[in-house]
Chain A
Amino acid sequence: MTHRTMVVCVALVAVVLIAILLDIFGGTRWYSVSDLWRPSTKLVGEVIWQIRVPRALAAAMTGMLLALAGLLLQTVSHNPLADPSIIGVNAGANLAMIVGELLGISLTILNAFWLSLVGALLAFVVVIGLSMSGHGFNPLRLLLGGTIFSGFISSISYAVSFITNTTQQFRVLLVGGFSGANYQQVLLLGIAVIVVLGGAVMFQTELTLLGLDSKTSVGLGVSFKRLMIVAVVLVVLAAGSSVAVAGNIGFIGLGIPQIVNFVHPGSFKSNLAAVALCGSGFMLIADLIAKTAISSVELPLSALSAIVGGVVLFIIVAFRKEAVGA
């Protein structure tokens, strides 16, 4: 790690910490910093420690997981547009939870997690199957097949919840959000973060080499099959646990790695930390806006994330075109 990336990372950690604090104090009612250790009433203390804190932690970790899942997918598929929500991994997790609940598996936190992981894995395996051609894995097919599959699965989710009159019940799953976050979810997300981040760091050299085309990386001695299995496990864990807590939130996986790479073009290794931290920061700020923008109404997070992110990406694309044209 160079001196400059070190400085950037320390700055980003500070931003994330500030965003966590803002997300804790901000909401329909703003609290003061002193409420954290000397709450004005017992109720205020409970709201902060039982609702706001786990919510902020869940948002921070989910943002990190989604951004990492996007970065991993983009790296292994050699496609900057790959993202777990675009290729249908999130939608698969979503559908598995809805189907599970309707089949009578009560959506306790633990059940939600494993259903979501199974759904994400099944969806990913199907999409990888779709992207296999005679010459092996084809990244373009991953995106084409995944996009169609994602739409298909999402439609089934909506149809199932509509037919069974459970749209309201699955609202959080379908529109995304952290309103019910609790410490048990925070714990499970924490485990997912440790595994995904740890795995990404452990395999960062191989994943960096994969930034060259896959044949070149194989020539350098990377075991492509093993690396693909690692990537699939990490992406499923990241996307599945995010969906189990916060529903299907798009954009982050696609946009955060893009934005980081735009500001600082570099290898997997050099951008890993920045992508993880920016994912956290973005999710926290989006959550804060969702809570506070319109009083008494909580905005749907997936839509908000897509709108904010869409605008940012739009600016980047426009900027880039100009830079290329000049």
Chain B
Amino acid sequence: MKAILKADQLTAGYGHKVIIDQQTVEIPEGCVTGLIGPNGCGKSTLLNTLNGFEAPMAGNVELDGKQMSQYSAKQRAQEIAVLPQRTVIPEGISVFELVSYGRYCRQRGMHRLSKADRQAVEDAIKAVHLVDKHDELLTSLSGGQQQRALIAMTLAQNSRILMLDEPTTYLDLTNQLEILDLLHELNATFQKTVIIVLHDLNEAARYCDHLICMIHGRVAAVGSPDDVLTETTLANIFKVSGDITYDNDCPQITNCHPLPVAQP
């Protein structure tokens, strides 16, 4: 499968601190790719380098065969839409206004909404099933609805790639599943390449076509959920013991226990 995003011999971190050291990662086009791994393993750092927010300390990030540093901020936003973890929900802003922010990267001059912009905003609101909340204030919506409105904002960017950093973490189970179903639907209908950081391995197995598992800033396992979610991965990377059972051919972890931490 063709790689739309590629990190070659990537070294990345904050300040002088190296978090990811010389790793090579490829993101297949048109798939839902999940980034998994324990806390502090470098998932977010990888995401923030792949999307061009942070420049790599060494190595290359290529989008569509072109160096990321050659894209301007707006050009990059036309290709990659990003929803970071824990976005601030501003006061006094309606769903429509929030979603219209997504059009910024497609506008010129004084940034007035054109007819095409309005249409894209309406389409995005429809895609996340929020048409009836169109004019309501964001602050009056539930957490799950707010998250859907934010996703609609990223959809309005009309980018080929959508990246989300733990989009389900602060939601209850119903809303988590709704958001993941929505992402799956967007991938299927718009052939969007989705890259998503997830904590829940069972959700990752169910909703992703491709998994990248990281530990200590290294890529430890790559492949389909079947290849990645094995009892060995669980033990070596997540330090848990568990059984892999298959639910409609999808690997799911059951009977999970933390392994005793080996004393050095």
Contacts and interface: CB of A to CB of B under 8 A. Distances in A.
A324 B238 CA distance: 42
A281 B142 CA distance: 39
Contact of A135 (B14, B81, B110): B14
Interface string A253-275: 00000000100111100100000
Contacts of A325: none
A216 interface: yes
Interface residues of A, number: 26
A208 B78 CA distance: 19
A211 B101 CA distance: 11
A209 B101 contact: yes
B226 interface: no
Contact of A221 (B15, B87, B104): B104
Contacts of B80: 219
B77 A264 contact: no
A134 B73 contact: no
Interface string A278-312: 00000000000000000000000000000000000
A213 B73 contact: no
A265 B73 contact: no
Contact of A219 (B14, B88, B92, B154): B154
Nearest to A267: B93
Nearest to A271: B92
B156 to A, nearest CB: 9
Contacts of B179: none
Interface in A213-272: 213, 215-216, 218-224, 261, 264-267, 270
Contacts of B157: 220-221
Interface string B102-138: 1011010011000000000000000000000000000
Given A134-B14, A213-B84, A213-B87, A220 B102 contact: yes
A136 B84 CA distance: 16
A125 B73 CA distance: 25
Contacts of A206: 104
Interface in B187-218: none
Contacts of A212: 87-88, 90, 101
A141 interface: no
Contacts of A205: 104, 107, 110-111
Contact of A78 (B17, B73, B81, B88): B88
B78 A221 contact: yes
Interface string B1-42: 000000000000011010000000000000000000000000
A218 B86 CA distance: 15
A216 B83 contact: yes
Contact of A218 (B73, B88, B91, B154): B73
Nearest to A132: B15
Given A219-B77, A220-B105, A134 B88 contact: no
Nearest to B75: A221
A212 B99 CA distance: 12
B92 A270 contact: yes
A135 B15 CA distance: 7
23 contacts: A134-B14, A205-B104, A208-B101, A209-B101, A211-B90, A212-B88, A212-B90, A213-B84, A216-B82, A218-B82, A219-B51, A219-B53, A219-B80, A219-B83, A219-B84, A220-B81, A220-B102, A220-B153, A221-B77, A222-B73, A265-B91, A265-B92, A267-B97
Given A220-B157, A267-B92, 4 more contacts: A216-B87, A218-B73, A219-B154, A261-B91
Q: Which 10 A-B pairs have the closest CB atoms?
A: A221-B77, A265-B92, A219-B82, A221-B105, A266-B92, A134-B15, A265-B91, A205-B111, A215-B84, A223-B73
Interface of B: 14-15, 17, 51, 53, 72-74, 76-78, 80-84, 86-88, 90-93, 97, 101-102, 104-105, 107, 110-111, 150, 153-154, 157
Interface of A: 78, 134-136, 205-206, 208-209, 211-213, 215-216, 218-224, 261, 264-267, 270
